[in-house]
Structure 1
Amino acid sequence: MNASDTIAQEPEVAGPEKGTKRFQAKRDAILAAAADAINEQSAKGMTFADVARRVGLNTTSVTYYFKRKEDLAAAAFEQTLEKLDEMLDQALEEPTPEARVARFLNINMERMARIERGEEKAFAILSDLRAMEEPMKGRLLTGWRNIFRKTRSIWGTDGTRAETDLRGARAHVVLENTFWLTAWLTRYEVDEYPRVEQRLMEVFRHGIAAPGRVWRPELLDLEHDEPEPGREAFLLAATRLINELGYRGASVQKIASELNVTKGSFYHHLDAKDELVIACYKRSFDIIADAQRLAEDHGGSHWDRLASTIATLLDVQFSERGPLLRTTALSGLPPRERSTMIDRSNRIARRYAGMLSDGIAQGSIRPIDPLVASQALMALQNAAFDMRKWASTMPRERAVAFYASTLTFGLFDDSVLGA
């Protein structure tokens, strides 16, 4: 490409010179609008026209700042990574792991309060990183891995392989819980946020198990007859791809190719892509609800039942019969269907809250806020898919115990290392 080609592609629009405060302010406004669009519709669903509308510009004006939609999405994701990096730097100034986690949570809670008051814009969630094109995808994933390693360093950088594995589980659970705040924190008034922060930190600090409880879960039998041969395999392949690439990134063709079947086979099982995602969600929610129901009928203390539920679902996430569909696919669904799926998710969270409340009354669960703790459990099971590679490096039982310990016994209890 020569210089004349570059000039020919430059949009005919008057804009502030690059590097000026006016240019940066407009660019930041576009990035904020893009973040909102990504969070509502996914990176693939975001359009220049929508972003332009949100900032009061025409589409050509947006292309003055970002030539392609992919460039805009990548810049929004890079901004998120930069902000996370800054927050972690602040947290790492604290002297102990517990104080660092508390600081990181506090920074995020205060940010959420400013967003709710309209004083700050939300940054783009990172769900669609894997759906980006190369070379941007590689660069962004490198940035995400750096964030993960920095979060893991909250607990130190020296130690055995087992200690590093446990710190990895803790880092992931902390990050996912801060991302998950957007799913449920708005149910509280802003002036309640400090109390919610304290209650969530209590779960992080001490876990949910009452003192003296041990981790001896029994995996529950979730096997059942498949009413339509082949449908389960189809939904499983679709779930994996949607988790990796997002709702819009996982095309029907890619799902069919994953199963080595024709595109027509897709329409044998389902009539439309939205129906596919709904079916994947129903499968996942049914598995979770089955585990909860079976645990309640299983006997033992309420702690034992909850531990068996958690272990069974993590085992599903880490095994070939998994995973469960991540909530990130919700952004691609039409509003009505999305609302239906969110309602089902909330019912599952309330069931967890009921199990926790029964355990608190019995004395087998620590006296914690069951509504807050139930959302922490939702984040735990929802995000475990991303730790499949991590789990594959060790015996499954250890992976489940390490990952579950982050919330069952807290983020600072190393007793699981000797189990």
Structure 2
Amino acid sequence: MSSAPHIRLSSPWLPFESRRRARDEKREAVLRAAVQLFLEQGYHRVTLNEVADRLNITKPALYNYFRGKDEILFECWSMGAELVDSVITEVNAGGGSGLVKLRKLVHAYAALMATDFGASLVRFDLRDLTEQNANVARAAKRRIDATFRQYIAEGIADGSIRPCDPKLAAFAIAGGLNWIGHWYRSDGELSPTAIADEFTVRLTEGLAIEDRQQTTRKTPGVPQRRNPVRKVTGKKRTGGTG
């Protein structure tokens, strides 16, 4: 008697890698919805029910990915920190003078501040995190600050940046960049790239050595200003700033 043909049944389960990828995508969707709500309404005003409603899922479904709202907050912050880390890694790999690296970092960081996860780095209160996670966040902030100082110090050493106090210069630059996360609006007149272009010039031109400024301003990977300020001639304008 001949044996019955073997029928290969398709598994109802996705392959491991596909399952992990699907889970990662859903997890990131939760973070994207949550970070938008946290920035719009403030962390304490947002409930997990609202996060679930925005995703059209149930609140219990959120617990498949996160243990609570504070963990979601930290993961949103971590997403922003990871983006900064990747920028720094790329800048370091590209090499160049201290000024070149500083300008690349300023440009990328400015554009990042105009994103939800970037803004979370400066809009979220670390006091809302657990002590352990707050310590992780503070350590990351110190690493970012140290990188700004390092590039400035390298520029002083290689002659591309004027002698200055790297600590104070880094504070001034980071302060200007971080504020973008507070005032940027996606429906505003300027795009993230336009903001990054302008801030790169404004925050670094005073540091550049004058006799090298024309060449170092043309930093690889950093778009140049297309609309230089022109002198106004003729009748003097009056009125307000609007």
Using structure 2 for the length normalisation, give the TM-score: 0.66
CA distance in 1, matches of 2:202, 2:24: 38
Match of 2:82 in 1: 286
Change (3 A) 1:391 1:308: farther
Change (3 A) 1:343 1:226: farther
Match status 1:343 vs 2:139: yes
Query: How far is 1:316 from its partner?
Result: 2.8
CA distance in 2, matches of 1:226, 1:378: 36
Q: CA-to-partner distance for each residue in 1:264-285, whole Å, 9 max, x for gaps? A: 2321221122211221222111
Question: Could you tell me which of 159, 182, 194 is aligned with 1:363?
Answer: 159
Query: How far is 1:418 from its partner?
Result: 0.6
Which structure has greater helix proportion?
1
Question: Could you tell me which of 168, 176, 187 is aligned with 1:372?
Answer: 168
CA distance in 2, matches of 1:234, 1:269: 8
Change (3 A) 1:291 1:388: same
Query: How far is 1:403 from its partner?
Result: 3.4
Query: How far is 1:297 from its partner?
Result: 0.7
Using structure 1 for the length normalisation, give the TM-score: 0.40
Change (3 A) 1:253 1:285: same
SS of residue paired to 1:304: helix
Match of 1:229 in 2: 25
Match of 1:243 in 2: 39
Change (3 A) 1:333 1:361: same
Query: How far is 1:393 from its partner?
Result: 0.9
Q: CA-to-partner distance for each residue in 1:238-276, whole Å, 9 max, x for gaps? A: 223323333312322232333333322321221122211
Change (3 A) 1:381 1:240: farther
Query: How far is 1:378 from its partner?
Result: 3.2
Match of 2:239 in 1: none
Query: How far is 1:391 from its partner?
Result: 7.4
Q: List aligned pairs for 1:231-310, cutoff 5 A.
A: 231-310=27-106
Letter in 2 for 1:357: A
CA distance in 2, matches of 1:331, 1:390: 27
Q: List aligned pairs for 1:132-147, cutoff 5 A.
A: none
Contact 1:303 1:365 in 2 (8 A): yes
Q: List aligned pairs for 1:33-48, cutoff 5 A.
A: none
Query: How far is 1:383 from its partner?
Result: 2.8
Match of 1:388 in 2: 184
Change (3 A) 1:284 1:261: same
CA distance in 2, matches of 1:226, 1:290: 23
Query: How far is 1:292 from its partner?
Result: 1.0
Letter in 2 for 1:354: Q
Gaps of 5+ in 2: 1-20, 207-224, 230-242
Letter in 1 for 2:55: L
Change (3 A) 1:321 1:246: closer
SS of residue paired to 2:121: coil
Change (3 A) 1:238 1:405: farther
CA distance in 1, matches of 2:78, 2:27: 13
Query: How far is 1:235 from its partner?
Result: 1.9
Change (3 A) 1:298 1:404: same
RMSD between aligned alpha carbons? 3.0
Q: List aligned pairs for 1:51-66, cutoff 5 A.
A: none
CA distance in 2, matches of 1:360, 1:318: 30
CA distance in 2, matches of 1:377, 1:269: 37
Gaps of 5+ in 1: 1-224, 411-415
Q: How many residues align?
A: 191
- Between structure 1 and structure 2, the one with the greater Rg is 2
Change (3 A) 1:375 1:254: farther
CA distance in 1, matches of 2:98, 2:23: 33
Match of 2:198 in 1: 402
Match of 1:170 in 2: none
Q: List aligned pairs for 1:303-318, cutoff 5 A.
A: 303-318=99-114
Letter in 2 for 1:316: L
SS of residue paired to 1:389: coil
Task: Give me the identity figure in percent.
Answer: 24
